[in-house]
Amino acid sequence: MYISTVTGTVTPQECAAIAHASAIRNRRDDVTGLLLFNSRRFLQVLEGPKDAVENIFARIHGDSRHRGVVKLREGMIDTREFGRWAMAYDDPLRPSDSLKDVVAALLASAGPSTRAHFLGSAELHRPTA
């Protein structure tokens, strides 16, 4: 799991396109996960075989669309936490409550400012009606 900061402007549509292309590429390597974007920062979780995750992370790390990549969590797990999503993208226009709950649990191990940043933006994106 890492966070990074967008360089320039990436629209929610462009982020959805990144998530879609990533899901297709990652599936070949049995890698799943989650990509969140709040117009300024990315948060991504990659789950799968260690070598595959490391190769994909190295590619992502060098991508000029973002900078300041900081790994928040890395380690071996028994069961995928995001298996169901296969690189879900949290659409700010259609927020998913179950996705928010899993993200909140994941962010429990992140720093307080990172947590506040993502959970705060998730709240802002909730429809008021």
Positions that interact with ligand FMN (CB under 6 A): 18, 22, 25-26, 35, 42, 44, 56, 59-60, 63, 65-66
Least CB distance to ligand FMN at residue 42 (A)? 4
Least CB distance to ligand FMN at residue 4 (A)? 6
The CB density around residue 52, as the number of other CB atoms within 10 Å, is 16
| Identity at 102, one-letter amino acid code | V
Least CB distance to ligand FMN at residue 127 (A)? 25
Q: What is the DSSP letter of 129?
A: -
Q: What is the DSSP letter of 84?
A: T
Q: Residue 15: which of 88, 79, 120, 81 has the closest Cα?
A: 88
Residue closer to ligand FMN, measured from CB, 7 or 109: 7
- Paired sense of beta strands 88-89 and 2-6, if any: unpaired
Least CB distance to ligand FMN at residue 43 (A)? 9
- C-alpha distance across the termini of the chain, in Å: 33
Residue closer to ligand FMN, measured from CB, 17 or 126: 17
Residue closer to ligand FMN, measured from CB, 69 or 119: 69
